[in-house]
Amino acid sequence: MDYKTGKPKDEDKTKKDLQLSVYALAAREVFDWNPARLTFYNLQTNQAVSAARDDKKLNKVRAEIQEAAADIRAGKFPPKPGFWCKYCDYESICPAREQGAAASASGEE
Ligand code: SF4
């Protein structure tokens, strides 16, 4: 169960959501549980939307996570600047921010 605020998730998003898939993998691997369904519960609308994950889907997500972890370990983790940067705790040390600041200082954009 993932409690949310903001725009409610629909069934399609719930079926595809990576975060819920990661929770399902963690439930299996850490607690030895096999969740029958994964649910977004919107606290503002009191709506619950649930979806299941089969082994095929969870194996695909596991492979994606392992690939991302390997890229991070290899230093292949380029920053992706966007509107979300204003909420980021790492902005002061972000290479994209430093490059943008350097470009601004030299008159580039
Ligand atoms: S400031 Fe850098 S690390 Fe933070 S969200 Fe933006 S691109 Fe990502």
Break the chain into its structural domains and give their ranges: 2-77, 78-109
Centre of ligand 1 to C-alpha 2, Å, is 25
Residue-wise pLDDT for 37-69, tens only, equals 999 999 999 999 999 999 999 999 999 999 999
Q: Is 84 in the pocket of ligand 1 (CB under 6 A)?
A: yes
- pLDDT reading at 103 higher than 90: no
pTM, two decimals, is 0.71
Contact 94, 88 (CB under 8 A): yes
| Residue reference for tokens 């994209």 | 96
Closest CA to 95 of 80, 106, 74: 80
Centre of ligand 1 to C-alpha 28, Å, is 31
**What three-state secondary structure class fits 8?**
coil
Ligand 1 pocket: which of 77, 83, 84, 93 to mutate (most atoms within 8 A of CB): 84
Phi-psi region of 84 (alpha: psi -120 to 50; beta: other; left: phi over 0): alpha
Give the pLDDT confidence score for residue 100 in this predicted structure: 65
